[in-house]
């Protein structure tokens, strides 16, 4: 039986003192659980988090990964560098990267490949904007985004984690209803099923403003296997409540 995964995405937040207080509070409140837990922190704090998370049962994640192995790519962080800090997961293709940094489906697919080649599990994000949803293009959009990743990584696609993050529900306080989220998760599951016979074992997370109040209902859907948590991951009680709901 696959475990659910709750991954906190701190985005561009944190500080040395804040990080230590948050991690210690989460670690102290984390009961033995039947779900996996991860924290995806900004790159400058990975060394600090590697130490803080040691022995906690919480995995370390990065928020991005370079599509390049090494070389003259100022500001980029390679998979090999992340591995040296014990990084287990890397978020790939988050909507904010697509929107603000112009990341294409092809770039996301290349980053996924680089993560997999280095033994890092990519959390591949897909999702539609409000305009795309209102135009009835939700399914078309998410299937196109995932298809690019499958095309490049088909031989090992079962090793990825997928995160459905409706762009209109990120940081807005809006959340897809459990039924809306499940509908898209089912579409993604079917697409993965066509690509690998291990699709039933793959995890598809929901990443659109999951919080302590709505987590249980969302996580109760048959194809929602966890959450990629934004703002609630910065508050220990809220994050712990989501983990408890998943467990």
Q: According to the model, what pLDDT value does residue 169 have?
A: 85
Domains delineated in the chain? 5-246 (3.20.20.70)
Q: What are the mean pLDDT values of the chain's consecutive 10-residue runs (247 residues total)?
A: 94 98 96 92 98 96 98 98 98 97 98 98 96 95 98 96 92 84 98 96 94 96 97 97 95
Q: According to the model, what pLDDT value does residue 234 have?
A: 98
Report how far apart, in Å, the C-alpha atoms of 169 and of each of 28, 67, 128, 214 are: 30, 27, 10, 13
Quote the CA–CA distance of 185 and 155 in Å, as a whole number: 22
Q: Which of 34, 165, 179, 185 is catalytic?
A: 165
Run of H or E including 72: none
Q: According to the model, what pLDDT value does residue 33 have?
A: 78
Q: Strand, helix or coil at 206?
A: strand
pTM of this prediction?
0.96
For residue 157 the two structure tokens come to: 């696609």
Q: Is 94 designated active site?
A: yes
Q: According to the model, what pLDDT value does residue 212 have?
A: 94
Q: According to the model, what pLDDT value does residue 176 have?
A: 86
Q: Which residues are annotated as a binding site?
A: 9-11, 171, 209, 230-231
Q: According to the model, what pLDDT value does residue 74 have?
A: 98
Q: Which residues are annotated as a binding site for substrate?
A: 9-11, 171, 209, 230-231
Quote the CA–CA distance of 162 and 81 in Å, as a whole number: 23
Q: According to the model, what pLDDT value does residue 211 have?
A: 94
Q: According to the model, what pLDDT value does residue 54 have?
A: 96
Task: Quote the longest CA-to-CA distance of the chain.
Answer: 48
């Amino acid at each position: 039986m696959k475990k659910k995964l709750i991954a906190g995405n701190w985005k561009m937040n944190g500080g040395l003192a804040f990080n230590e207080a948050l991690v210690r509070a989460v670690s102290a409140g984390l009961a033995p659980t039947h779900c996996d837990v991860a924290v995806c922190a900004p790159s400058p704090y990975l060394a600090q988090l590697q130490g803080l998370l040691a022995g906690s049962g919480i995995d370390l994640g990065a928020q991005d990964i370079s599509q390049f192995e090494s070389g003259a790519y100022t500001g980029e962080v390679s998979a090999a560098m992340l591995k040296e800090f014990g990084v287990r997961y890397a978020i790939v293709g988050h909507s904010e990267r697509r929107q603000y940094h112009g990341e294409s489906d092809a770039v996301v697919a290349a980053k996924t490949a680089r993560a997999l080649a280095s033994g890092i599990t990519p959390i591949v994000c897909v999702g539609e904007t409000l305009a795309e949803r209102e135009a009835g293009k939700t399914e078309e959009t998410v299937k196109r985004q995932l298809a690019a990743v499958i095309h490049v990584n088909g031989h090992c696609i079962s090793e990825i984690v997928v995160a459905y993050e409706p762009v209109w529900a990120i940081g807005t306080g809006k959340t897809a209803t459990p039924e809306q989220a499940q509908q898209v998760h089912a579409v993604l599951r079917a697409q993965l099923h066509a690509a690998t016979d291990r699709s039933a074992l793959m995890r598809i997370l929901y990443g659109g403003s999951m919080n302590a109040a709505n987590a249980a209902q969302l996580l109760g859907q048959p194809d929602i296997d966890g959450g990629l948590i934004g703002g609630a991951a910065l508050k220990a009680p809220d994050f712990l409540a989501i983990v408890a709901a998943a467990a």
